[in-house]
Structure 1
Amino acid sequence: MFVLGLQGSPRIKGNTSILLSSFLAEAERLGAHTQNLNVARMNISPCRECGTCEKKGFCPIDDDMQQVYPLLRKADIIVMATPIFFYGPTAQMKAPIDRSQALWSLRYVFRLMDPGRKWRQGFLLSVGATKGKNLFEGTALMAKYFFDAVGTSFEGALTYKQIEGPKDIEKHPTALNDVKEKAKALVKPFLNRK
């Protein structure tokens, strides 16, 4: 079983990275194969809305996203991790989300169904500096539709407000344990499948 982490924070070893690393470490401890893609450091251009994906079923932009597409299709669990910038994901995370239009096109235009879709899962990890009531709503909605486009069900989110300084998440009373427990809840059913 394969768990793919998408790290969208431009801050190296910051709060989002700590959460995602904890999730992936627990998944590995349980026996999963994991990969952490730091999309914030990859060369992923924004979508150009050229329409090629809807006409031909692929994205013509030759950049690092071409390495990401097969991983998105292969993963049993995809974990998107992003801090909140202006009530949304980072620009670095938004680029691969938008470029997943190519996978959306395969499903909804070309009607190609992923045989693993019924068990593949997506999950969101996010932190934000403010305590705004709707801080994570836009990103959670975007995550839901991103996961649908890449052929996974959206299994929810762990989100933490008022987390801004480097490593603030380590001071949170439950965050790291929450992430480990969620990793167990998502990964164990895959490992127990016969």
Structure 2
Amino acid sequence: MAKILAIYGSPRRKGNTATLLDHAVEGAVSDGAEVEKVILRDCKISPCLEIYGCKKDGRCVIQDDFQALYDKMLESQGLMLASPIFFYSVSALAKCLIDRCQSLWVKKYWIDKVSPGRWTATRKGLFISVGATQGKKLFDGPLLTVKYFFDVLDMELYRTVLFRGLDFEGDVLQHPEYLSAAREAGQDLARALSR
């Protein structure tokens, strides 16, 4: 059974990305995966303070909710991250989490001395995002950020679910095809992890 961590990075509990992630989780569970949900809005996670306490063993020294999440991320086979777009990037909640994973970067590339680009992905990640505008480059920045976030977790960015033109809470409900796409992505991730 695949073990997946689903991280809700939206400041809204019932926002469009949260709704899409709910459908992706349903899809993964329907395909036999065990999914644990984490709502970043409910966590107390400091930004990275760049004090490099992680140079000792790759573990962040700031004691807050990130510590438990650090372990959950490393224990999971797959990860789903959902975040709306804010100024062509992920939400502040998601970015705080990602920045705290600098400790994992330190562990991988400084302590363990892994050569960049010379590692094999052992796990898979799914990124779900929506933005209000129709901007051509709307997802360019977030995709690069998420790719490198998954890198420190030894994950490949396996799938994405990205939709433009969604802003207000509930907009996604007007697009059942988007909900189906998210559910299918969750199923696909679960299947890929079970192979």
* Alignment TM-score, normalising by the size of structure 2: 0.92
Aligned counterpart, 1:4: 5
Matched, 1:176 2:179: yes
Matched, 1:137 2:150: no
1:44-59, aligned counterparts within 5 Å? 44-59=45-60
Greater than 6 Å deviation, 4+ residue runs: none
Secondary structure of the residue that 1:174 maps to in structure 2? helix
Task: Choose the corresponding residue for 1:155, options 150, 154, 158.
Answer: 158
Structure 2's unaligned 5+ residue stretches are 115-119
Deviation at residue 173 of structure 1 after TM alignment: 4.5
Maintained 8 Å contact 2:131/2:164? yes
Aligned counterpart, 1:97: 98
Maintained 8 Å contact 2:124/2:193? no
Please give the root-mean-square deviation of Cα atoms over the aligned residues, in Å. 1.5
Whose RCO is larger (CA < 8 A, sep 6+)? Answer: 2
Maintained 8 Å contact 1:73/1:151? no
Aligned counterpart, 1:88: 89
Q: Over residues 41-61 of structure 1, what are the superposed CA-to-partner deviations in whole Å (9 max), with x where a residue is unaligned?
A: 210000000011124421110
Question: For this pair of structures, how many residues does the alignment match?
Answer: 189
Deviation at residue 156 of structure 1 after TM alignment: 3.4
Deviation at residue 87 of structure 1 after TM alignment: 0.8
Partners of 2:176 and 2:157 lie apart in 1 by 26
Deviation at residue 75 of structure 1 after TM alignment: 1.0
Deviation at residue 112 of structure 1 after TM alignment: 7.3
* Alignment TM-score, normalising by the size of structure 1: 0.92
Maintained 8 Å contact 1:58/1:102? yes
